[in-house]
Structure 1
Amino acid sequence: MYIVAIEVKDKRFDLPDGVGSDATHTNPQYAYAVCCLKTETSVTGVGLAFTLGVGTDLVCRAIEYLSASLKGREIEELMSDFGTVYRKMVDSPSFRWLGPHKGVVHLALAAVVNACYDLWAKSKRVPLWKLLLDLTPEQLVNTLDLSYLEEVLSREQALTILTEHQATRNLRTNVLETGYKGYDTSVGWFNFSDEKIIENTQKAINQGFTALKLKVGSNDPARDIRRATLIRKAAGEKATIMLDANQKWTVPEAQNTCSMLGDINPFWIEEPTHPDDVIGHQTIARTIAPFKVATGEHIPNKVIFKNFFQAKAMDFCQVDAVRVGGVSEFLTISLLSKSMGIPVVPHVGDMGQIHQHLVLFNHIGMDHEHLFLEHIPHLKQHFVNPAEIIDAYYQVPQVAGSSSDLKE
């Protein structure tokens, strides 16, 4: 199956009032820069990078540049040594200068890489999670670029992780029967009224969700404390409540506010300060312990994740395959996380479409803990094969590919 043409699409979606809002992104427009790898057949590989509206066109232009070398390639041959192909794309001198490995160019890389994996799975007529599980450890590692990680994750160590856990997969395949547990982010968007978050919380509990997330980061900490108390009361003491500041606080603000929010017993505090501030996160993590820090939504690449892990600056890794360099870098970071004892709970800029596949592989293939996967339903109607949630569990996808196809 050969790639004969490449099409790029700029897809933007307006949201209902208040939906998607947080302390930093107050009026978002959800959007995707989409890479479509056309073949000589009716099959097209579709890859997404998540953006927030304005600027999506810049990512689309970068996709055109990065994907040009894929034209004429046969998908099986391409993916047999995709780690090498990936590194050539990511380290192309003129594009590397624009990052390196971050920003517009790296978002474009995510779309290109995700399209390659989607096409590969479609060419084999299997869902992405099954494609990944069917690969040998050597075949999977051949799709990864482990450069700059060698002192903590060599090729041999990556192979060992995958090989050792291959022998015990049968202990974890029950997730294919139960589905993967979800948590509800949509209950507590920042611009929702107090009444709305109480209503949403009760609705989510009735739908079977036992884990919920509230957006915090108000200019007045008293607002955050009041709303966190409301959601805890509405959900009950047994519910798992996460709090997300979306990078709003300085380190001292995070330390002070988190100490007051501790009364509701949060499962984690997410993105408490600037996403590049490794030592700031380390300081916050030490201050608020035993409460946990989750971050990774805006960490752009494996090297910075490595630094966070080394500094013990996060307790939960929220790597996102439509933010880092696609499925390849997501799997690399998941291996790194496993080797350093950090659970992976992805952020879902893709609305959970791709990540529902990736968490199944992480759990079965690497023995990452089955915690839960973020659920955001607001673009469901735009996908050809939307993620299906029943009783708060992601149902296992059965359609070939990565569930990334968008309706015209």
Structure 2
Amino acid sequence: MIYKIAVKDARYKLDGNAGSDAIHRDPVYSYAVTQLADDSGITGTGFAFTLGEGNDLVCKAAEYYAQKLVGKDIEETMADFGTLFKQLSDDQQFRWLGPHKGVVHLALASVTNACYDLWAKKKGLPLWKLLADLSPEAVVNTLDFSYLEDALTKEQAIVLLTEQQAGKATRGGILKTGYPGYDTSVGWFNYSDEKVRENCKKAIVAGFTAMKLKVGSADPERDIRRAHIVREVAGADVKVMLDANQQWNLPDAISICKKLTDVNPYWIEEPTHPDDVLAHRKLAREIAPVKLALGEHVPNKVIFKNYLQAEAAAFVQVDAVRVGGVSEFLTVSLLCKKFGIPVVPHVGDMGQLHQHLVLFNHIAMGHEALFLEHIPHLQKHFVHPANVKNGVYETPQEAGSSCELIGITI
């Protein structure tokens, strides 16, 4: 039984110009951390990701949600977590502040993720294994399909997962080989051209076969020049992604994206405002065959549904510390599987939680194992940091979701 909760505000200043992009020039990577203490002596840890001053608002909301779990048994809770998730996300005190977005939804993510971590620890299993061993019905019972019925029902989700059962053993081979990563730190926005060039060389030596550059400069020629630097160093066979972090309006996005096609980008990420589904659809058609990736700032399953229905995204970057946590992440992954779109998460968690979720997506859901973003800057703060060697995430073996932070205790 959960008998005690704690919510902590954890903030980490980055070194140098790390983390900078076209919108966030001086970010402070921050976590609203929820801890759930069980009377068996186990503590579940979950968090949502922010970039600084707003973190305390998320913590305050997370305390409200977490208090509702006191006295609950985690096994019984997770057996029908989808129902609880809907009740919490529709809480009449908070729903007006969303619905299902912003501070309150980030808070729900923190609490939800703590529930999954506690559940896995109670089972003595890494989260990926707990999820992969569940029956399709048990997985679906942890999810909320409200507002998705026109695209995916609970019954259809069970069928989808059931159809993938036969291939689980074969796809489980990835547990030995590891899940591929890509280096997102070669080209932070405020890095000099020389540092971008140096970082690209280091990434190749480290075994990465894909890397990402931040674009969205006031002068598009800067973006074009730096993109060519990355392509020159990386060579033709390395995947190069470009991330504008929502900087452009639609006319500028069309113009600049067309100029960037010379470097053969694997995708162009977050080109314009994340709420503007129709702008992304128009842009996707204008710059095809160059593909769009998005999802870092898409707050919930309904908007992801709209993007998929509009055929506006070729890659979905749903983030379990941005949407309503693991539950909503898995719901969006099922939607993407239904629509045939790959899931390549944004990693506000630095890949800690998502290394578990992409393994489940591949093994149990049949998603292609493309790669997972790798950001190393907070590695020293985790009890069990993600282990990336030769450009590959090694499979985590510790019980839980790898989200415990050093020095954060209940």
Scaled by the length of structure 1, the TM-score of the pair is: 0.99
Alignment partners' CA distance in 2, 1:10 and 1:170: 41
* 1:94 CA displacement: 1.8
Report whether the alignment pairs 1:360 with 2:359.
Answer: yes
Correspondence list, 1:323-362, <5 A: 323-362=322-361
Alignment partners' CA distance in 2, 1:130 and 1:194: 42
Query: What's 2:319 paired with?
Result: 320
Alignment partners' CA distance in 1, 2:150 and 2:297: 24
Query: What's 1:227 paired with?
Result: 226
Alignment partners' CA distance in 2, 1:177 and 1:312: 35
Q: Which amino acid aligns with 2:308?
A: F
Q: Percent same amino acid among aligned pairs? A: 64
* 1:392 CA displacement: 0.4
Alignment partners' CA distance in 1, 2:79 and 2:209: 41
Helix, strand or coil: the match of 1:48?
Answer: strand
Alignment partners' CA distance in 2, 1:55 and 1:346: 23
Helix, strand or coil: the match of 2:97?
Answer: coil
* 1:364 CA displacement: 0.5
- 1:20-71 residue CA offsets vs partner (Å, 9 max, x unmatched): 0000111100000000001113310000100001110000000011111100
Correspondence list, 1:196-235, <5 A: 196-235=195-234
Alignment partners' CA distance in 2, 1:324 and 1:383: 22
Query: What's 1:193 paired with?
Result: 192
Query: What's 1:121 paired with?
Result: 120
Q: Which amino acid aligns with 2:210?
A: A
Alignment partners' CA distance in 2, 1:332 and 1:385: 26
Alignment partners' CA distance in 2, 1:219 and 1:3: 51
Report whether the alignment pairs 1:70 with 2:69.
Answer: yes
Query: What's 2:78 paired with?
Result: 79
Query: What's 1:7 paired with?
Result: 6
* 1:134 CA displacement: 1.0
Alignment partners' CA distance in 1, 2:25 and 2:282: 27
Report whether the alignment pairs 1:162 with 2:172.
Answer: no
- 1:344-384 residue CA offsets vs partner (Å, 9 max, x unmatched): 00000000000000000000001100100000000000000
Correspondence list, 1:6-85, <5 A: 6-85=5-84
Query: What's 1:141 paired with?
Result: 140
Unmatched segments (≥5 aa) in structure 2: none
Alignment partners' CA distance in 2, 1:318 and 1:334: 10
Alignment partners' CA distance in 2, 1:34 and 1:343: 29
* 1:185 CA displacement: 0.3
Alignment partners' CA distance in 2, 1:335 and 1:311: 17
Query: What's 1:175 paired with?
Result: 174
Unmatched segments (≥5 aa) in structure 1: none
Query: What's 2:238 paired with?
Result: 239
Helix, strand or coil: the match of 1:148?
Answer: coil
Correspondence list, 1:82-101, <5 A: 82-101=81-100
Alignment partners' CA distance in 2, 1:172 and 1:336: 20
Alignment partners' CA distance in 2, 1:80 and 1:364: 21
* 1:91 CA displacement: 0.4
* 1:168 CA displacement: 1.3
Q: Which amino acid aligns with 1:236?
A: G
In the alignment of these two chains, the number of paired residues is 407
Helix, strand or coil: the match of 1:66?
Answer: helix
Q: Which amino acid aligns with 2:140?
A: V
Alignment partners' CA distance in 2, 1:234 and 1:54: 37
Helix, strand or coil: the match of 1:167?
Answer: helix
- 1:103-147 residue CA offsets vs partner (Å, 9 max, x unmatched): 000000000000000000000000000000111111110000000
* 1:153 CA displacement: 0.4
- 1:170-210 residue CA offsets vs partner (Å, 9 max, x unmatched): 22111011000000000000000000000000000001001
Alignment partners' CA distance in 2, 1:47 and 1:164: 31
Correspondence list, 1:266-305, <5 A: 266-305=265-304
- 1:195-233 residue CA offsets vs partner (Å, 9 max, x unmatched): 000000000000100100000000000000000001100
Q: Which amino acid aligns with 1:126?
A: L
Query: What's 2:400 paired with?
Result: 401
Correspondence list, 1:383-394, <5 A: 383-394=382-393
Alignment partners' CA distance in 1, 2:190 and 2:68: 44
- 1:143-176 residue CA offsets vs partner (Å, 9 max, x unmatched): 0000000111011110011101011112211101
Q: Which amino acid aligns with 2:305?
A: K
Helix, strand or coil: the match of 1:70?
Answer: coil
Helix, strand or coil: the match of 2:16?
Answer: coil
Q: Following TM superposition, where does structure 1 have runs of at least 4 consecutive aligned residues deviating by more than 4 angstroms?
A: none
Helix, strand or coil: the match of 2:226?
Answer: helix
Q: Which amino acid aligns with 2:149?
A: E
Q: Which amino acid aligns with 1:92?
A: D
* 1:237 CA displacement: 1.1
Alignment partners' CA distance in 1, 2:11 and 2:227: 32
Alignment partners' CA distance in 2, 1:39 and 1:172: 34
Alignment partners' CA distance in 2, 1:236 and 1:274: 31
Alignment partners' CA distance in 1, 2:93 and 2:39: 31
